[in-house]
Structure 1
């Protein structure tokens, strides 16, 4: 379930209509559907999870981790890396680049709780029901749910949203590929039918659907032109969420304003959240300029990605006198693999021995010491950060049972050798790994001529590493001499955000840094990360082009796992197979997120376990703190 849960929205005139619509009533008085029986003898549920029980019972008032009395008001100014040229989330990744902040203008059918690993509670949908075989799901919409223009959110809106995402968004079409039909089955009810039973995650990922306003997208703009949901646009779209677009400068700034009479402000999942009157997103081309702007108090909150910069770039008066706070938050909600992905569509990278050689010569230990103050560890798993799913030792028990039928489709080492990252960091280790890499290349038919590596056909081996930003470029520059020792000619190409998206969408690269995120409940998204069907779909997340029948089979075991034990075994097995195929040069991970902030804000204590910093969702503007540190620049 690693695909983003929520996305986008915009505004209208709901505030003036609120009394007539009854939006000032307490939401708990509206749950009429609780008294009605669900179809087919099923029961309505207010929340769902893939396995096990949910924490919050029917009728709960709020999440435990929020401050229900948090004051509303103030402005939070946020940093965004890159740029944008569209507000249309439907074609994101295909046409244009949209700002992440737009996700706050839309509501989804359900939303997650940040103190549970895998639970969802109704937002636009009030209730949900599905049979024991998970062959379909029915969502009942809240009668009070409204667009910012005051019109109700209808089943027709939900069906329209599902259809346009599935038809026009490559990622959504793949993610929702097993949802075959959406239909209206009641005044407030929408039924989604699946192509087969047994996939217990499909009801949940259906609930992640961002609902779009059908009447707005099928209407005309201020100039009388018919809107096109398949095209990019900078017309602020109509939304239904707690924020709407107030102002923007294309590619540079986005300002969201809180919808003060938002229809869902009293929902249990909203109490104590969305506390800022304005969220301002400032866009910067790179982190270097961004840090300088933060230091000059041009924005309030900055996520520092560089361990080195965290150590050396914050030596200025505002840090010394505590007007700027540095804080690290543990990452407990997810795991990941980060590495230079090989584009397996290129013939050069077909042989696993070449990929293994490239992995062996990356001197992570020296890079970590020189560039990152030793804070990182090298990724040793595609689930790094989630110990339950990380392959360790040799396969045994249920995991071994899953792998046995695939023995002829996986590297022999899967059964004989625990995977370990190569260790460099000393001249002796570097020489040993270079010798091993040279041996693997020779076995694969490569040889060195005139100090240049050539492939079995006698062609010089030249590789371009595509980089989207200064941080990635710095690591690639460190890696290049290691490849050059093998005789590889290495070009490093840094491009801007839009070019990077276009080139990776079209798989126009040799190697590039990819992050494969993993949730605490892996499922259908694994098909897009690693599945053969996604390998050749433009815009898919299978960036490397992995086509492996063993991986495909293990993905299905993850998705159709009947319990947590089976899910864990399948994840370990897939992890092991991915590692021994060397689909990337593994990079590094760190179990914390670093943030620096101007001390104008307060937060609940403790923060939700799986919310990392949870900023700005559950934080609020603290006028007393702000007064102490002075006016913003």
Structure 2
């Protein structure tokens, strides 16, 4: 990076002078920070409450992934990098406890300090913090990493960086960020930014995809790999952070191997054949019927069910409103009616899996049935004229009788389409006033077998409406390229949501994502109401206001009719070798980031 584009750094003396002019600031360094209230764990905590601090270390675990990879840089938009690399090879200033909605404790940083209104945050680095090559983690590395990620990294890093007014070294091991707008979450967001080694990238293009991994400070380093085939991580024998209380009981394996397969069916057969050690099952029917092979009967493989208390998130078929066919909400609503969830669920899950009813279902953050009331109604009221039906008065997904005919809902679908100007001609084809047929493409990732089965049933329903659909399955690289560029009409969509939504909501639903590539706003929504609800949850000073803002956002999203939801699993279904163990006490997030393989261990020696 050229010097003139380098960090917005102010000298410490100038920064302290500015602080002095503003009057005294009551703040002091702390071992952790929570979005609301105080961290649950004291400064002298021994380990996280959901780990086994005495877990055996050593052994090996082999994990399977459907798809492939063509990059080892997980921090940029270009290329596809193995998912596990980001969390296992790199560290952040602070680490998350997955037993609290959103609380961080010191990792690379030994302490964090904020002003009373969180208008700034200061981190103090641990003197012992080291990269995998033995070099110290410095303030300069932090400043370079944050700006480089914010300017050249994946779009998920840009929103927070745009709110940083100044970034400055205030001491040999301290770094301060001052914010340009109110946002109580920003200190936590910056605490979770990965720190990379600046010297590795001198004179090089950080945004260019490649197979040289960035140097990190995390517990694992890459030992071997073959693009698209496998990746082997070895525990760094000199990992600086192994004895931190935050890490006690975590990262117990000496080796983690990822094997990549063409699709989910092949991946399952590899598990049956003993090539991999763990398989996450998403089908309740398969869980009940397909695990009768010898390794299960002998006890070599065990079936574990991991409960959680997190929101459902959204899983289903997303409609891209950038495509003219889905710009009209009535067409989207018609397809929601045409989708016979009850039949699809009966065929694929035995009717046992509960449906996702909103983005934050299964949590206190979910929209409540019926009329919006109290603070939720106050937040939505200024946008009443622009909100879609149901946002204020109440909304529920269409329910079918489960029969293939789905007649009642199809009648409602035809009515919506008729109101939108689509009518069936003599040949049974839906056409608009210009004679153009209603047709679109459903884009799928090769190997997504469950998604393919869902789509196959849905396409039959759409034929009865007179809709022409083509289904296209592409490899992982093409799928990522097309979805990053929003080059699709409809595709299968999965977005996980936490108990503490914040700045990432702009990446998911913000209007910038309509044109900016690589966001999670696959539906292309541009909603002033959603933007206002995000502002409200980011600036909420009480838990009550935060919950109300999230419930209001949930109403805007759900009644936007952007996604045809399917089901969620209240428990994760994991089949694994009996020698692999996990703690009896589960975090509230369950099988989530930081669970497998992070807090598991092997009894085999």
TM-score by shorter chain over 0.5: yes
**Larger mean Cα displacement after TM superposition, 516-525 or 499-508:** 516-525
Residue 419 of structure 2 is aligned to residue 419 of structure 1: no
2:90 aligns with 106
Residue 297 of structure 2 is aligned to residue 316 of structure 1: no
Per-residue Cα deviation, 1:315-335 (whole angstroms, up to 9, x for no partner): 111111211101111132343
1:11 aligns with none
Residue 34 of structure 2 is aligned to residue 58 of structure 1: no
After TM superposition, give the deviation of residue 227 of structure 1 in Å: 4.1
User: Which residue, 279, 282, 287 being the options, matches 2:264?
Assistant: 287
**Larger mean Cα displacement after TM superposition, 330-339 or 423-432:** 423-432
User: Which residue, 117, 138, 141 being the options, matches 1:154?
Assistant: 138
2:4 aligns with none
After TM superposition, give the deviation of residue 590 of structure 1 in Å: 1.9
Superposed, 1:349-364 pairs within 5 Å as 349-364=326-341
1:4 aligns with none
1:221 aligns with none
**Larger mean Cα displacement after TM superposition, 74-83 or 598-607:** 598-607
Inter-partner Cα distance in structure 1 for 2:118 and 2:495:
27
SS across alignment from 2:546: helix
User: Which residue, 223, 226, 242 being the options, matches 1:246?
Assistant: 223
Report the CA distance shift for 1:136/1:590 in structure 2 as closer, same or farther (over 3 A): same
SS across alignment from 1:438: helix
1:181 aligns with 166
Superposed, 1:552-563 pairs within 5 Å as 552-563=531-542
User: Which residue, 363, 388, 406 being the options, matches 2:365?
Assistant: 388
After TM superposition, give the deviation of residue 311 of structure 1 in Å: 2.6
Contact 2:156–2:504 (8 Å) recurs in 1 = no
SS across alignment from 2:249: coil
1:616 aligns with 597
Inter-partner Cα distance in structure 2 for 1:427 and 1:474:
17
Contact 1:391–1:573 (8 Å) recurs in 2 = no
Per-residue Cα deviation, 1:353-390 (whole angstroms, up to 9, x for no partner): 11100000101001111111212122211112223333
Contact 2:26–2:116 (8 Å) recurs in 1 = no
Superposed, 1:538-617 pairs within 5 Å as 538-612=517-591, 614-617=595-598
Residue 79 of structure 2 is aligned to residue 96 of structure 1: yes
Residue 412 of structure 2 is aligned to residue 436 of structure 1: yes
Report the CA distance shift for 1:200/1:320 in structure 2 as closer, same or farther (over 3 A): same
- When the two structures are superposed, what TM-score results if normalisation uses the length of structure 2? 0.92
**Larger mean Cα displacement after TM superposition, 120-129 or 531-540:** 531-540
2:16 aligns with none
1:487 aligns with 466
Residue 148 of structure 2 is aligned to residue 164 of structure 1: yes
**Larger mean Cα displacement after TM superposition, 176-185 or 250-259:** 176-185
User: Which residue, 116, 126, 129 being the options, matches 1:145?
Assistant: 129
Inter-partner Cα distance in structure 2 for 1:165 and 1:574:
28
Inter-partner Cα distance in structure 1 for 2:402 and 2:136:
66
After TM superposition, give the deviation of residue 272 of structure 1 in Å: 1.3
After TM superposition, give the deviation of residue 55 of structure 1 in Å: 1.1
After TM superposition, give the deviation of residue 406 of structure 1 in Å: 1.5
After TM superposition, give the deviation of residue 146 of structure 1 in Å: 0.5
Per-residue Cα deviation, 1:438-471 (whole angstroms, up to 9, x for no partner): 1111111111112001123220111111111222
After TM superposition, give the deviation of residue 412 of structure 1 in Å: 4.2
After TM superposition, give the deviation of residue 604 of structure 1 in Å: 2.4
1:33 aligns with none
2:483 aligns with 504
2:432 aligns with 455
1:47 aligns with 32
Per-residue Cα deviation, 1:492-529 (whole angstroms, up to 9, x for no partner): 11111111100000100000111232110111111111
Report the CA distance shift for 1:578/1:292 in structure 2 as closer, same or farther (over 3 A): same
Inter-partner Cα distance in structure 1 for 2:115 and 2:474:
49
SS across alignment from 1:474: helix
**Larger mean Cα displacement after TM superposition, 328-337 or 182-191:** 328-337
Inter-partner Cα distance in structure 2 for 1:587 and 1:615:
25
Gaps of 5+ in 1: 1-38, 219-225, 625-633
Contact 1:340–1:514 (8 Å) recurs in 2 = yes
Contact 1:175–1:528 (8 Å) recurs in 2 = no
Residue 501 of structure 2 is aligned to residue 522 of structure 1: yes
Contact 2:365–2:499 (8 Å) recurs in 1 = no
Inter-partner Cα distance in structure 2 for 1:513 and 1:387:
26
After TM superposition, give the deviation of residue 608 of structure 1 in Å: 2.8
Inter-partner Cα distance in structure 1 for 2:569 and 2:336:
20
SS across alignment from 1:166: helix
Inter-partner Cα distance in structure 1 for 2:354 and 2:558:
16
Inter-partner Cα distance in structure 1 for 2:51 and 2:94:
18
Inter-partner Cα distance in structure 1 for 2:149 and 2:163:
14
Report the CA distance shift for 1:499/1:123 in structure 2 as closer, same or farther (over 3 A): same
**Larger mean Cα displacement after TM superposition, 174-183 or 301-310:** 174-183
Per-residue Cα deviation, 1:229-266 (whole angstroms, up to 9, x for no partner): 12112124322111111111121111111112311111
Count of residue correspondences = 575
Inter-partner Cα distance in structure 1 for 2:375 and 2:313:
24
Contact 1:78–1:282 (8 Å) recurs in 2 = yes
Inter-partner Cα distance in structure 2 for 1:515 and 1:286:
17
User: Which residue, 69, 90, 96 being the options, matches 2:54?
Assistant: 69
Inter-partner Cα distance in structure 2 for 1:370 and 1:246:
43
Give the CA RMSD over aligned residues.
Answer: 1.7
Inter-partner Cα distance in structure 2 for 1:446 and 1:462:
11
2:198 aligns with 214
Report the CA distance shift for 1:412/1:293 in structure 2 as closer, same or farther (over 3 A): closer
Report the CA distance shift for 1:78/1:360 in structure 2 as closer, same or farther (over 3 A): same
Inter-partner Cα distance in structure 2 for 1:185 and 1:49:
23
Inter-partner Cα distance in structure 2 for 1:423 and 1:355:
16
Gaps of 5+ in 2: 1-23
Report the CA distance shift for 1:175/1:477 in structure 2 as closer, same or farther (over 3 A): farther
**Larger mean Cα displacement after TM superposition, 44-53 or 328-337:** 328-337
SS across alignment from 2:245: coil
**Larger mean Cα displacement after TM superposition, 569-578 or 479-488:** 569-578
2:72 aligns with 87
Residue 237 of structure 2 is aligned to residue 260 of structure 1: yes
Report the CA distance shift for 1:600/1:554 in structure 2 as closer, same or farther (over 3 A): same
Contact 2:581–2:600 (8 Å) recurs in 1 = yes
- When the two structures are superposed, what TM-score results if normalisation uses the length of structure 1? 0.88
1:10 aligns with none
User: Which residue, 176, 201, 221 being the options, matches 1:191?
Assistant: 176
Inter-partner Cα distance in structure 1 for 2:70 and 2:262:
14
**Larger mean Cα displacement after TM superposition, 421-430 or 240-249:** 421-430
